[in-house]
Structure 1
Amino acid sequence: MNLKFLLIAGLSATLHTQTPAWAQVRLPSLPNLPGGVQLPHGDLLRRDESLLTSTSQLLAPADPLRWRERLGDQLLRRFPDQLQRSAAGELVFSGEVLALPSSDAARRRLLEDEGLRLVEASTLEGLDVAWLRLRATSTTTSTTSPAALAALIARLKAQDPEGAYDYHHIYLDAGDVGSGVVGATSATSATSGTAGASAAGARAAAGGSRLGMIDSGVDTAHPALQRSTVTRRGCAGQTRPAAHGTAVASLLVGDSDVGFHGALPRARLFAMDVFCEGSAQPGGGVAAIAEGLAWLARERVGVVNISLVGPPNALLRRVVEAAQAQGLLIVAPVGNDGPAAPPLYPAAWPGVIGVTAVDARRRVLAEAGRGAQVALAAPGADMVAAQAGSRAYAPVRGTSFASPLVAGLLAARLPSPDRAAASSAFNALAREAMDLGAPGRDEVYGMGLVGASLRVSASDLR
């Protein structure tokens, strides 16, 4: 039986490590999914296709198998002295190693290693995780070759097999934001009444709901976000709004007079900016994401949306496990690297809710990832979201934008951290899912489609 499926169904496991208190992490244990769960089946809702905004094909990647590769190449051209490719082709900080040694002796050995220089020692308050950020030293260049860096990490693992050592990976977004749409140019969509009713109900339910996001910066001046309380963090206190983060935030808590709404309108949002748009340093690193999870744990949010994708970084997995142990429910997109691509993370880690995206006809996006990591599907194309730096709404496409819809629906059921309640919240939402594809759970749509009424197209705006 598929391991990820067992974990989505509530597999209980424990990570056994012999580490000091400052480095201990436990894998969370979640109750089982109730037996005999029946997912609703039904015909697709009919909708006048002439009222749909045809953004799906406009934003579709020409080559979905190179989605992250292209984004990574752009960053490499921008930061050639700070980033490099690992031996496996993943984007990483040049010559850097993240280390979670298993003992004080292993920690001292790292600090005395002549081949390493300490960049930062970080303790994640609230998660009881501490690690070291190290840089490989070189007498000839400021970077380390992929082969040499791989050999260094292998040596550190061999010296301390109970510890955790990995690259300082860069994680990337999983969606595209198009150009702005000023407003509606046609009659209101046939489904707008249902969507409006859903939004009104969500506003009433939002109340004291708190949810978090880790992404790029949020433009809180956008009309869709002015009714929500958004607490921002990151970038040394500087405000650096960005297209992706603003769109995701609006899909989480947005609300406006023109017919736009997110999954949980007017809820309180805690937004961690890990990219710092326009700065002289590359963003999206594991260390920044980890700091964001620790902050959100301290803020007692119940659900965290991370619309980012990357490789299975060992240190970030430890932090995710620590956050889950505190009762946080993490939601993430499965990515846009294509149906044959290997799983992307954090979506593919145990206990994380992996989300795929469908278009207006409820077909999975061609570029969406497939596999056991897919837990649920939600709208992720033929829709709009808030556009940073304007009052407009822009077409969006990608699993990045399906994930916040699922996160908002879960946050309505889980306003604060609670491991048992997190499992119950997921089970309840899964029971509401519309089964798509093969009967029952499958590797394309997961448990099925949720949040269909949350899709807002340009024709829904008034």
Structure 2
Amino acid sequence: MHRIILIPALLAVLAAPLAAQVALPGVSVPRVGEVLEPVTDTLDRTLAETQRLADRLARDRLRDIERLVRRNRDIIERDARGEAARRGELLVMDAAAGDLAKASGLGFVALGSESIDGLGLSVTRLKTPDDLTLAQAEELLATLLPGAVVSADNLHFQSGNAAGVVLPLASAGPANGTSVPVGMIDGAPGPSVPVAAMRGFAKGAPTPSHHGSAIASLLASAGVGPVRVADVYGTDKAGGNALAIARGLGWLVAEGSRVVTISLVGPENPVLAHAIAAAQRKGVIVVAAVGNDGPAAPPAYPASYANVVAVTAVDGKRRALIEAGRALHLDYAAPGADITGRNAKGKRIRLRGTSFATPLVAARVAQAMGAGRTWRTTLDGEAVDLGKKGADPVYGRGLVCGTCTGR
């Protein structure tokens, strides 16, 4: 962020007219080297500070996962990659009946099989043997069933802070009538942010949350609708898991959502990858946040899945958020700080995070589709090029919804 500010200043010195660098009578003009030296020293210090912050964010992420697992050992466990997942359960897809019988012979217990409405997928839940950790059971089952999809039920986390300072209320903009239906996968919004439909996919869901309320209020401020919400958290300590997101996505697709916004991040998960690919085959555009774990964190999912619209965030001065994470690709930036939304109690609050940039981009996609336009061409035409010329890993294809401030 600071590097982007300093480099133009440095170039300005180098590109200054010759007359400005020639000594005039009675005026002492520093040599180019004397000007550049403190600038480059400052740049080096800034880059070092940025790297330290990135490393700290990555450490914070690991510490937060460790704390979550430690405090909820009865329901959360680490998978074979060390990622947080629902304890003692594995998900299996594309397994033959005989394969599941083999698993049963080794102590795996079938908890049920289900078809995910709207996506044409079938998932079987297996309880792991009592004498194996989740990681051990996952590795054993993957070896036993080489032709099947075997996965832990990984947890995904909201990627923004929606517990900010309460501000005076502002009115919401009216729906513009040109939007296709929009789906939202998150926590549930409070009653002050009305939506067309809501359904729970976790214990205690739907339960109003600050984060879900903020996302829904940003969609409302953009004037899109109808908006349907899949609450994948509720009161479940292991909420936001891959199966809940897949179920929620299936419901939204079955209900007619053409664009789905997901401001959650987690590790790569085969079941969720299959679910998103199935939704995309039906023409649904999935828009997802890159997260706030910093650039040193692993790539965020679902933003990193193929053809998902990956979104990062900028502040009110159009500077990339220093905490913005990364994905395997980046499509657009949108305001994710110096904007406001509603919390679960209906209070207007300040927001910060890539979570809140994501529904703004999703709204633009939905509006373009509703107007019968090609959404990619429309957003590319609106996007303001920031950073390096053309698409880049900091701002993607440019800033969308640059004047949006929320509600």
State the TM-score, normalizing by the size of structure 1. Answer: 0.71
Unmatched tracts of structure 2, length 5 or more: 1-52
Q: Does 1:453 align with 2:397?
A: no
Q: Does 1:203 align with 2:203?
A: no
Q: Does 1:431 align with 2:381?
A: yes
Which letter does structure 2 place at the counterpart of 1:250? S
Distance 2:397 2:311 in 1: 10
Aligned counterpart, 2:187: 216
Aligned counterpart, 1:296: 252
Q: Does 1:276 align with 2:231?
A: no
Structure 1 residues 313 and 366, CA, compared in 2 at 3 Å: closer, same or farther? Answer: same
1:163 Cα deviation from its structure 2 partner = 1.7
Alignment of 1:258-277 (within 5 A): 262-265=221-224, 267-277=225-235
Aligned counterpart, 2:322: 366
Instruction: Name the SS of the counterpart of 1:451 in structure 2.
Output: coil
Which letter does structure 1 place at the counterpart of 2:99? A
1:177 Cα deviation from its structure 2 partner = 1.5
Q: Deviations over 1:108-165 (max 9, x none)?
A: 433x3332111221211221100111111215xxxx43xxx33432333333333211
Which letter does structure 2 place at the counterpart of 1:161? P
Distance 2:357 2:80 in 1: 32
Q: In structure 1, which of residues 378, 384, 405 is the aligned counterpart of residue 340 of structure 2?
A: 384
Identity of aligned residues (%): 36
Q: Deviations over 1:143-194 (max 9, x none)?
A: x43xxx334323333333332111111111111113342317xxx9xxxxxx
Q: Deviations over 1:234-257 (max 9, x none)?
A: 44785410011110111112xxxx
RMSD, matched Cα: 2.7
Q: How many residues align?
A: 355
1:218 Cα deviation from its structure 2 partner = 1.1
Structure 1 residues 107 and 324, CA, compared in 2 at 3 Å: closer, same or farther? Answer: farther
1:307 Cα deviation from its structure 2 partner = 0.6
Q: Deviating runs (4+, > 6 A) in structure 1?
A: none
Structure 1 residues 331 and 67, CA, compared in 2 at 3 Å: closer, same or farther? Answer: farther
Contact 2:334 2:399 in 1 (8 A): yes
Q: Deviations over 1:381-428 (max 9, x none)?
A: 111110112x32111111111111101111112359xxxx89x31232
Aligned counterpart, 2:348: 393
Distance 1:343 1:61 in 2: 14
Distance 2:320 2:58 in 1: 16
Contact 1:120 1:133 in 2 (8 A): yes
Aligned counterpart, 1:114: 106
Structure ranking higher on relative contact order (CA contacts 8 Å, 6+ apart): 1
Distance 2:335 2:344 in 1: 21
Structure 1 residues 375 and 411, CA, compared in 2 at 3 Å: closer, same or farther? Answer: same
Q: In structure 2, which of residues 264, 282, 305 is the aligned counterpart of residue 308 of structure 1?
A: 264
Q: In structure 1, which of residues 158, 164, 176 is the aligned counterpart of residue 161 of structure 2?
A: 176
Structure 1 residues 235 and 342, CA, compared in 2 at 3 Å: closer, same or farther? Answer: closer
Instruction: Name the SS of the counterpart of 2:350 in structure 1.
Output: strand
Aligned counterpart, 1:160: 145
Structure 1 residues 345 and 449, CA, compared in 2 at 3 Å: closer, same or farther? Answer: same
Aligned counterpart, 1:134: 126
Distance 1:366 1:67 in 2: 14
Contact 1:122 1:132 in 2 (8 A): yes
Distance 2:206 2:328 in 1: 38
Q: Deviations over 1:338-392 (max 9, x none)?
A: 1122211000010100000001111111111235421100000111110112x32
State the TM-score, normalizing by the size of structure 2. Answer: 0.80
Contact 1:71 1:172 in 2 (8 A): no
Distance 2:252 2:219 in 1: 16
Alignment of 1:14-413 (within 5 A): 63-66=56-59, 68-110=61-103, 112-138=104-130, 144-145=132-133, 149-183=134-168, 203-206=175-178, 209-219=180-190, 221-222=191-192, 225-226=193-194, 229-235=196-202, 238-253=205-220, 262-265=221-224, 267-277=225-235, 279=236, 281-370=237-326, 372-389=328-345, 391-413=346-368
Question: Based on CA coordinates, which of the two structures has the bigger radius of gyration?
Answer: 2
Structure 1 residues 251 and 61, CA, compared in 2 at 3 Å: closer, same or farther? Answer: farther
Unmatched tracts of structure 1, length 5 or more: 1-59, 189-195, 254-261
Which letter does structure 1 place at the counterpart of 2:83? E
Distance 2:277 2:101 in 1: 25
